[in-house]
Amino acid sequence: MANTTVAVIGGGPAGLAAGASAASLGSEVVIIEKLPFLGGRPIEENYASLTPYLRSAEEAMGEVIDHALSFENLTVMLDSKVIAVTGDPGDFVLEVQSGEEVVSLTAGSIIVATGFQHFDPGRETQMYGYYEFDDVIALQDLEAMLKEGRVQRPSNGEEPKRVCFVQCVGSRDRQIGNEYCSKVCCGVASKEAIEVRLAVPGVEVFIFYIDMRMYGYWESQIYWPAQEKHHVQYVKGIISEVLPKDGRLLVRGEDTTMGRPMEVLMDLVVLSVGMEPSMGTREIAGILGIEQNKYGFIEAVKGPLDTVATSREGIFAVGSALGPADLEDCSSTGGYAGARATAFIRSHAKAGI
């Protein structure tokens, strides 16, 4: 008898959407998550709120998790990691390290939802002092602070008077090998800038950017309110280094609009780090034998009109396992892949293979 199970590897926003979609169509679904909880990066990294509506990440992801778990034909394996896959499309066999034991499960189709990791701003050519100076933090560090309801300088616990965001850290950068744009950092930084303005009375907030990539509705939903209502100050410029000075941080670069060198003192510097494929994404690509692009993300081999197909029949990829993705992308590709995996299993069964 044909195997009617869809194995979803990864329980973040895209994996949960994929699992719920496949389950809603009658497939047996197993979501395999390496962490002891569902929700992906927004939960793992303690995001305060989601872009663009500043809705509580815990609440919004909670609803997504509850929806997935509402299907009787969907089960979840936590603390679990796929370590080997054999068999063929329609009849895969997954070896899963689940806690202490290794279990074997079969699946007709596989959905890869292993996501991204944040670029490590201490790497190589980065002159921002992320590991040297306490008050240089990254987008996700500020998220975690905002979730705790505080915005402080890690060095002394004081509220900052001047905060800046440095865009494109680890993105659009040939030297480090990430030529792509990470898509969401302009929106996330602007959202966090608004939250900092709301949290700290009188704080000045600057965003140093190359292009503000507030595509679609983000322009009117975040970018305009950030400027007009919350008085976030956007400066087109390129930051080359961050240095300590008089207990504060000296941010050096070039104001490209004014065409002159720039040196400004800040209390808190937030690096808008980009997306790279997670270790899980790199590993599973090798295990499954599916094509990756030069950056290590899973290649969507069929191009823009078929967003979730990988190089192997019966295996689909979703969300930021495919490359930089916003939450809408995760929802849509996840939901689509649930349909594709289900249809694949049924056509395979019908063909009597």
Question: Can you list the alpha helix ranges (DSSP code H) found in the chain?
Answer: 13-24, 41-44, 57-69, 139-147, 185-199, 218, 224-228, 279-288, 327-350
Q: Which of 132, 156, 215, 233 binds its own copies (CB under 8 A)?
A: 215
CB hemisphere CA count around 273 (13 angstroms):
23
Query: Which is nearest to 244 in space by CA: 138, 112, 155?
Result: 155
Q: At what angle do helices 327-350 and 13-24 cross, to 10 degrees?
A: 40
Q: Which of 154, 216, 247, 261 binds its own copies (CB under 8 A)?
A: 216
Q: Token pair 């007709």 is at which residue?
A: 108
Q: Which of 37, 53, 131, 353 binds its own copies (CB under 8 A)?
A: 53
CB hemisphere CA count around 17 (13 angstroms):
25
- Angstrom distance (rounded) from CA 41 to CA 117: 8
Pairing, β 55-56 against β 116-118: unpaired
347 binds its own copies per the rule CB under 8 A = yes
| Residue span 164-203 as binding mask against its own copies, x where in contact by CB under 8 A, dash where not | -------xx------xxxxx--------------------
Site for its own copies in 16-35 (CB under 8 A): 17, 21, 24-26
Given the complex with its own copies, which of 106 and 220 has the nearer CB atom? 220
Stretch that binds its own copies, among 33-41, 109-117, 265-273, 299-307 (CB under 8 A): 299-307
- Angstrom distance (rounded) from CA 199 to CA 327: 25
Structure tokens at 267: 């209390």
| Residue span 106-145 as binding mask against its own copies, x where in contact by CB under 8 A, dash where not | ----------------------------------------
213 binds its own copies per the rule CB under 8 A = yes
41 binds its own copies per the rule CB under 8 A = no
Binding site for its own copies (CB under 8 A): 13, 17, 21, 24-26, 50-53, 55, 60-61, 63-64, 171-172, 179-183, 211-220, 224, 236, 256-259, 303-308, 323-336, 338-340, 342-343, 346-347
